[in-house]
Amino acid sequence: MRNPGKKKTTFILPLLAVAAIAGGCGGGKSSGAAASSGYGDVKPAGTQAAQAPADKPAAARTAVETSGFAFHPNTIRVKVGDTITFTNKDSAAHTATAVEGAKFDSGSLDQGKSFSYTAKQAGTIKFVCDFHPSMTGTIVVS
C-alpha cells in the first residue's frame, strides 16, 4: 500500500522551493520591462529610457507649434539646459524671434520646418513672429 502523505510532500516541497526563490529575487526592485529609470518616470513595456548620469538629469525637450497664426502653447516652463523646438504647422511662413531675455531668431520657417533653442540661463524670455507681431509667447526658465 502506498503512503498518501509522501505524495503530498513530494508535490508541495518543490512548490515551496520555487516560491521561496521567486520571493527572494530582485532585492525588492522591479526588473521587468516597465522598471523605473531612476528619474521618477516609468516607461511602458517595449520602450527604453535613456539614463543620464546620476549627477546630471537628462535635458527635456518642449514642442511649440505655430498653427492658426498663434504659438501653441504660448507660455512654456522649462529648466536651464532644456530645448524648445518650434515647428510651423501653418501654410504661411513664421519666425520665432526672442525680443527680451535671450537672443535667438529662427529666420523664416516655412510649413513643416523647425527651429530649436536651448535655454541657457534662468529668467523670462519673450518671443514673437516677425511676420505677424500679434503672435507672441513667453518662456519661463528656472
| 139: helix, strand or coil | strand
Q: What is the pLDDT of residues 6-51, one digit of tens each?
A: 555 455 545 444 444 444 444 443 334 333 333 333 344 444 445 5
| 120: helix, strand or coil | coil
Q: Extract the C-alpha cell encoding 103.
A: 537672443
Higher pLDDT: 10 or 108? It is 108
What pLDDT does 61 receive?
Answer: 86
What pLDDT does 60 receive?
Answer: 80
User: Could you tell me the fold of the domain covering 61-141?
Assistant: Immunoglobulin-like (2.60.40)
What pLDDT does 137 receive?
Answer: 98
Alpha-carbon span 89 to 36, nearest angstrom: 34
| 97: helix, strand or coil | strand
* pTM attached to this predicted model: 0.60
Q: What is the pLDDT of residues 37-94, one digit of tens each?
A: 333 333 444 444 455 455 556 678 899 999 999 999 999 999 999 999 999 999 999 9
Q: What is the pLDDT of residues 93-107, one digit of tens each?
A: 999 999 999 999 999
Q: What is the pLDDT of residues 118-137, one digit of tens each?
A: 999 999 999 999 999 999 99
| Domain boundary assignment for the chain | 61-141
Q: Extract the C-alpha cell encoding 130.
A: 516677425
What pLDDT does 54 receive?
Answer: 53
| Element holding 12 (H helix, E strand) | helix 4-24
Alpha-carbon span 93 to 90, nearest angstrom: 7
Q: Please count the other Cβ atoms lying within 10 Å of the Cβ belonging to residue 70.
A: 17
> 103: Cβ–Cβ under 8 A, 6 or more apart, which residues?
none
What pLDDT does 25 receive?
Answer: 46
